[in-house]
A and B are shown apart, each in its own frame.
Chain A
């Protein structure tokens, strides 16, 4: 995984001057307007097609009113909470395994060489293909879903951490050793601060995958969460509700991603020249 150069470019690009920020917001508003416009056009086309008339509730109007009801009644919280919990637990497991392992394979060449092929191989297997096995191994559906999310999230975290460790300036380690740092100092004063942004970048990528894996994983077995709600709405032919859940999934995913971006900005120690 060649996160290297891109990550650094990303770090520099985060510092936008005020005018550019305003322009960014304006362009985002235009983009959203275009998206909603296309959605509306699609709704009109569906409504005027006798074969697809039954799906007219997918249009923006019914969807947004279903969304308003969902948010107003607080139902959305009950829907999203189990999903957020599963993603959170899966990501925690991914960090607990991926960060230490990433540091190890970043530091120890022999370990990196041994694990390279197996890890690249495992990474390319869609996490969803573990589903039947996960269902058999784990006693609860929740356990199986958390496992699938962890299996999806671990690779970006692991590879990004390892790449970050390999980019650490060896002179920093020499200076720390020279000043009497022990292993704990090395880890918490040098290595982790140096690679904080790499870990968070890996987590941000992991979240993208985990959030995608979540919905199909929740189609099975469980009776809570956003994926279940979509399935449930389909079974009851409540299409405006189904579309509203899709919007909720998008909004939560976008928000989480944005939070990670803020965290990356916060921990980014590269100062731009301006």
Chain B
């Protein structure tokens, strides 16, 4: 009797496919009256920003170089404190970095003395969750198509593969929100496109909130549900627009994609010209 039951249980266990634990809803972000001035710079970088991001949304921050996109993202991640105002995630004021909101940078910055799997496991290690590593890391590496590379040294991978490791590293602690600062800009067009689509798909599958900084209009159209267009000097939200495309329309050959891209490009250039016309303070 006992023996058969044990057997049954074992069989069930081995046939159950590992499923990634989805984050229900992802994080809700509220930015309240946020302004920032760097000590060394003159003038405000960001000026009285006020917006909300709904759980599970993919939002792009679009703006030309120097308008304060990275600064804003660092504040959402708790890596920089705004001089005024606050960032509120799920009802709590952000006071520092947390594995619940992970930022991904332009360079993958993997640790070259570690294997791919060790790099991906860092977030779990730093948060006393080493017990989960053995199960979670293979799953997460499969998710980013790097399963066979687990034991390779991080330096032996291509730029695109390294950025996938960085993505796995960010996803491993099951964050509720992922913040991406132009993470694909160093990659070739083909690799960039496939990663853009993969990251959007993964974020949607896991239900995470995704905020992506970019100055590439087509990237915003491929990935985002909503685009915040930023003004420069000082950084303000000049436009807040929705990208209403189905997932299968999010590729450059779709007709609706092209019209959305043209529309966003128009908004972006209008904002940029507005900047140029404004007197430099």
Contact B113 A177 (CB under 8 A): no
Instruction: Determine how close the nearest CB of chain B comes to the CB of A8; give it in whole angstroms.
Output: 13
List CB contacts (< 8 Å) of B59-111 with chain A. Answer: 77, 79, 97-99, 102-103, 105, 107, 109, 111
A169 within 8 A of B: yes
- Please name all residues of chain B whose beta carbon is closer than 8 Å to the beta carbon of A130 when the two chains form the complex: none
List CB contacts (< 8 Å) of A87-141 with chain B. Answer: none
- Please name all residues of chain B whose beta carbon is closer than 8 Å to the beta carbon of A181 when the two chains form the complex: 122, 126
- Please name all residues of chain A whose beta carbon is closer than 8 Å to the beta carbon of B251 when the two chains form the complex: none
Contact A193 B111 (CB under 8 A): yes
Instruction: Determine how close the nearest CB of chain B comes to the CB of A76; give it in whole angstroms.
Output: 39
Contact A179 B169 (CB under 8 A): yes
What CA separation (Å) do A172 and B166 show in the bound complex? 12
**Interface stretch among A33-41, A42-50, A182-190, A237-245?**
A182-190
Known: A172-B111, A193-B113, A269-B112. A179 touches B105 (CB 8 A): no
Residue on A nearest B156 in the bound complex, by CB:
A271
Contact B107 A171 (CB under 8 A): yes
Instruction: Determine how close the nearest CB of chain A comes to the CB of B266; give it in whole angstroms.
Output: 35
Q: Mark A244-268, 1 if CB is under 8 A from B, else 0.
A: 0000000000000000000000000
Contact A179 B123 (CB under 8 A): yes
- Please name all residues of chain B whose beta carbon is closer than 8 Å to the beta carbon of A169 when the two chains form the complex: 109
- Please name all residues of chain B whose beta carbon is closer than 8 Å to the beta carbon of A271 when the two chains form the complex: 112, 153, 155-156
Contact B123 A180 (CB under 8 A): yes
Contact A180 B113 (CB under 8 A): no
Instruction: Determine how close the nearest CB of chain A comes to the CB of B12; give it in whole angstroms.
Output: 35
B44 within 8 A of A: no
- Please name all residues of chain A whose beta carbon is closer than 8 Å to the beta carbon of B169 when the two chains form the complex: 179
B173 within 8 A of A: yes
Residue on A nearest B129 in the bound complex, by CB:
A180
A71 within 8 A of B: no
Instruction: Determine how close the nearest CB of chain B comes to the CB of A198; give it in whole angstroms.
Output: 13
Known: A177-B97, A178-B77, A179-B169. A270 touches B105 (CB 8 A): no
What CA separation (Å) do A169 and B153 show in the bound complex? 18
Contact B126 A176 (CB under 8 A): yes
Apart from A182-B126, A189-B122, list 11 A-B contacts with CB within 8 A: A169-B109, A172-B109, A176-B126, A177-B79, A178-B77, A178-B79, A179-B102, A179-B122, A179-B173, A180-B123, A271-B112
When A and B form their complex, which 8 residue pairs have the shortest distance between CB atoms, in order from nearest? A269-B113, A171-B109, A179-B123, A180-B126, A181-B126, A271-B155, A180-B99, A193-B113
- List the interface of chain A (C-beta within 8 A of B): 169, 171-172, 174-182, 185, 189-190, 193-194, 269-271
13 residue pairs of the A-B complex, CB under 8 angstroms, read A171-B105, A175-B105, A176-B126, A177-B97, A178-B97, A178-B103, A179-B102, A179-B126, A185-B126, A189-B111, A271-B153, A271-B155, A271-B156
